[in-house]
Chains A and B, each alone.
Chain A
Amino acid sequence: MICTMRILFIATIFFFATLSYSSEVFVKIASGNNSVVTITYKKPEDISSADTRLKFIAKMIRENYFDPDNIARDYYNIVVKDGMKIYNKSVKQFEFTPITQDRFSHIITLYGNLIVRREVYDTNNNLIYAYGYTDSIPDIQPTKKETKEVSLEKEPLLYKGFKGKLVKKLEDGTVHYLFSDGLNKFSIFIKKSEKNSVVLRHVIYGNYLFSKNIDGIQYTVIGTIPFDEMENFISFITSKEKNAR
């Protein structure tokens, strides 16, 4: 009798101890050559990948919170599927398809504001990245902090529904802007470079990358928009700079 009680006690402790870590997640990341890397873990520290970059990316690419009302709706066709159940939890699925092929599609399954599953596809319907819970949905609800964002630019930067913010500006002229429409995001890095580098187009770590040198300045765009759009954006930026002079 005492022995049975002891076993039950230990089992209960074990159950509650593991409860908060019972939700395993998966992350799928596309890389070059049509390859997709899949990682599953309960905590980011559990990722047993020898590639530390992959570990960092798996942690960074995954977001918990999504607000479907906070996106540039004018640029997407939105389909909502309600009344779905996953792992005994009522969820809602949102399908965002761009009206013009200037950004990527997203299929997001939400439990409240918690992202249960997310899949991102490029304009050729290739999976770029995906993540989600594999066995159960944890009892957590993310809420957005009230933060006061200080803009370093006087005028807000806008480009086809993407709001831009200056992330970094260095003395040597290196600049990093981050643009987001609430769903798709991309960064542009502007750096002086006299090197005659080739035009780069790569799918890397779940993002497209486009880099081009124009008149001694290297423009690199990274994010979830197609290459043509990245090149158009660079033209937009360079023409803006010329007008500003």
Chain B
Amino acid sequence: MDCIKYRKLTHELLDNEISENSEIELIEHLEHCQDCKVYMLNINKIKLSIKDSYAEKKNDINLSAQIMKKIQKNPGAGTKSLKLPKKVSMVAVIIIIFSAIFIAKTIFSTKQAVALNDTDEMIMEHLEKSNNNDIIHVTYAESR
């Protein structure tokens, strides 16, 4: 029954929460009690393993160096390449050239069309003034 008391003290000892007198008392008991001794060793093992596992999982806050290392290893690995097949590029160039020619032609013909529209008025005026029908009498013969 006393072992229960000492097992509690074992925990306190491992947690550094034991008083000096209790520590002396525990140590005297561990000299006589094999079970408590084994119990203490086992608890200590468990505590140590837990401690070790936490130590391994400890994160490295300095990530930039790791990232830079990775980048230097694979500079283009993360970027998307816009390389088109050669044929597609050629077709695109041809389309652009033809579009430019078409646009240039349209602009030129529009200019010409505008020029002709300016002269439309002159043509109408010429026809109107050169027509002699306004100075002509037309007499109708009696219908037979």
Contact = CB atoms under 8 A, between A and B. Distances in A.
Interface of A: 16, 19-20, 53, 56-57, 60-65, 138-145, 147, 167-168, 176, 178, 180, 185-187, 189, 197-198, 200, 202, 204-205, 207, 209, 211, 220, 222-223
B122 A53 contact: no
B128 interface: yes
Interface in B98-144: 112, 115-116, 119-120, 122-133, 135-144
Contacts of A176: 122, 125, 129
Given A178-B126, A187-B122, A65 B136 contact: yes
Q: Main SS of the interface on chain A? A: strand
Q: Main SS of the interface on chain B? A: helix
Nearest to A186: B126
Contacts of B131: 60-61, 63
B141 A61 contact: no
9 contacts: A57-B124, A142-B136, A145-B136, A167-B125, A167-B129, A180-B130, A207-B127, A209-B123, A222-B126
Contacts of A222: 119, 122-123, 126
A57 B141 contact: no
Nearest to B111: A198
Given A202-B116, A222-B122, A187 B140 contact: no
Contacts of B122: 176, 187, 189, 220, 222
Contact of A145 (B123, B137, B142): B137
A161 to B, nearest CB: 16
Interface of B: 112, 115-116, 119-120, 122-133, 135-144
Contact of A142 (B112, B120, B127, B138): B138
A207 B120 CA distance: 11
A65 B132 contact: yes
A144 B136 contact: yes
Contacts of A63: 131-133
- Name the residue among B128, B135, B141 with the largest chain A CB count within 10 angstroms: B135
Nearest to A57: B127
Nearest to A184: B130
A37 to B, nearest CB: 14
Given A20-B140, A187-B125, 5 more contacts: A144-B136, A167-B125, A167-B129, A200-B115, A222-B119
A20 B138 CA distance: 13
A212 to B, nearest CB: 12
Nearest first, the 10 A-B pairs at minimum CB distance are: A139-B141, A60-B127, A187-B126, A185-B130, A65-B136, A142-B136, A222-B126, A143-B137, A145-B135, A60-B131
B140 to A, nearest CB: 5
Contacts of B127: 56-57, 60-61, 205, 207
Contacts of A60: 124, 127-128, 131
Nearest to A149: B135
Given A139-B143, A222-B122, A178 B136 contact: no
Contact of A139 (B123, B132, B140): B140
A168 B121 CA distance: 14
Contacts of A143: 136-137, 139
Contact of B141 (A56, A62, A140, A204): A140
